[in-house]
A and B are shown apart, each in its own frame.
Chain A
Amino acid sequence: MEKRYLILDDGTSFLGEGFGDLSNTTGELIINTDLNGYQEAITDPVYHNQIIMFTQPSIGNIGTNPQNYESIITSAKGIVVNQREDINQSPLKAQNLSEFLRERQIPGIWKIDTRALRQYVQSHHVQKASIVNTNDEHAFDQLTAAVLSNQQIQAVATPKPYLVPGSGMTIVVIDLGLRESIIRQLAKLNCNIIVVPWDTDFKGIISLAPEGVVISSGPGAPEEIDNTVLETIIKLQPCLPLFGIGLGHELIAIANGATVTKMASGVHGNHHPIRQIITNDILYADQSQTYQIERQSIDNNRLIITFVDLINNSIQGLRSRDYPTFSVQFSPEGTSGIDSGLDLFAEFTESILVRRRLNNNEFGI
């Protein structure tokens, strides 16, 4: 039994036991409320540089399985759980959770009263946390001094373009740290997918002759991202249908004059009701949100609000008034997905088909 501490940047510490990797780690502390799917969260690039605390009490019941990866590179800096289970359910070359974390050098801490921790974090606006062996002054100094990398996208996004061939329309995906499930969804619609590095410029994208562009989700603060992406979005908007997800959504908002701020407490789960304004329908989708678009900053002459989170009133979807550009904060592709039959990828490809018809000046079909 390895005694370890979870220490917070306001000077509090929680005693627990270490598992997985036993090194010291520092990251932004976020709270994940999914009832299933710990492995998906740990491998989600959105959680790059973050320490994930799970509210789900027993983690590890189904072991780990390569099928459940959201990306090959694991991103999380650490995990905090109440009870860890070392169960290996799949017979084939699967690992239990501790083995999985050890191999990927991710520290875990358990026997933490996660409910008490969550209540504390919510009322004290904790940002950073470390998992360490001793909770002495030195450890707190280091935590306070730690500057979390603003190079998160560079760390998780592809450095080189690659092709996922398909027989249908060509779609460029700007990779800001995408989840594999985005590719899976586009592939399901037979798209010919070209994934390009985050800093690919307008010309570079147009030269690939896509019929639409997806701007992916990814980790980190949108305001810290190099202006290249914003310029690309501004130039692409009048030319091609754009679909932004997560970080991509935040960047589309900024490109259209809105501002983005950090939330007091983020939302990481799939339990919040989200209203689709146009139909008044309510749906549930995976959310992993730390930043939100300022409502007052939205220019109603340029953007329409299309989705809203009913719990915290945050903007979950936008659409341009002038261009075929739309974006959502939540994950329309996540493993827990959307249940209401809303299919934004289909909406995206359908809007491309419409353009194709209009541009070719076709009659009928």
Chain B
Amino acid sequence: MFGYILRRIALGCAVLLLAISTLYVIVQAAPGDPASAMLGPKATPAIKAAFAEKLGLDKPMPVQIVRYVGSVLSGDLGTDLRSRRPVTEVLAAHAPYTVELILASLLIAAGLGIPLGCAAAVRRNSLFDQAIGLLSVSLISVPPVIIAIYGMLLFSAALGWLPAIGAGVGEGLGSRLHHLILPAIAVGIGWVGYIARLVRASMIEVLSANYIRNARAFGLPELRIVYRYALRTAVAPTITVLGVGVGYMLGSAVFAEIVFARPGIGKLMYDAVILRNYPVTLGAVLAATALLVAATTLADILNALIDPRFKESRE
């Protein structure tokens, strides 16, 4: 078990290192001179020269990669061309808004999706089940950008129930949560459908297992069978899926942050793209990638901890 966790973390680190190197290689493949590709057209010659010096752009590619990875790992993501502050600092100021948005979305996805899927599986083929099925498919298929825009039009502009803009910065916890509701729904609602379907499918499979019939044969109450025997096993795959889902949610968060003008990483990137402020956009990609790798790694480890069959490999 401990060995597995170590190995999984090592794999996560290796993937992250490779992802950083690959990003550098991809960007270097862009047309134009290498320093401009990394810094954008707005960079002054002095900044370009300093960058070329730092990475050794006259040196062979492997050397450049090692230097680039080294500087990224030491926390040096370059300088924001607009504010002249280190990119790391800029990202650190915006990241909490994205992280809290993702966490809230995960909460919505799991908190609504698991009970809905479970209820649908228990009442299989009922009207309720079919309604949940139709709702799930619809929620999954509507693009998050549409949900964000339509949601804002309906709940903020037309009904005035929820704030349309900002993150409620400096207005206390209540306001901050209030501002979080709509964006989190926009990011998480599609995943409610996804998780509900996944849980339903795996519950149905587990409920037809031999040991469930046995539990019934011993007269265990139905509720105990559903929660203690079935749901425990059926919920495991959702953890992995949610881990991978963080990647998609980061994408949806970009739209939600733009539509609701939340000062998160996505909004930061969007504004930086318009200004051709490449150090910020590249830094943001690396930060988001690190977040995703951490999420998938954590999901796998949680999964291993939950499944008692993993303990077998301890000896």
Q: Does B bind A? A: no
Query: Which residues of B approach A to under 8 Å, CB–CB?
Result: none
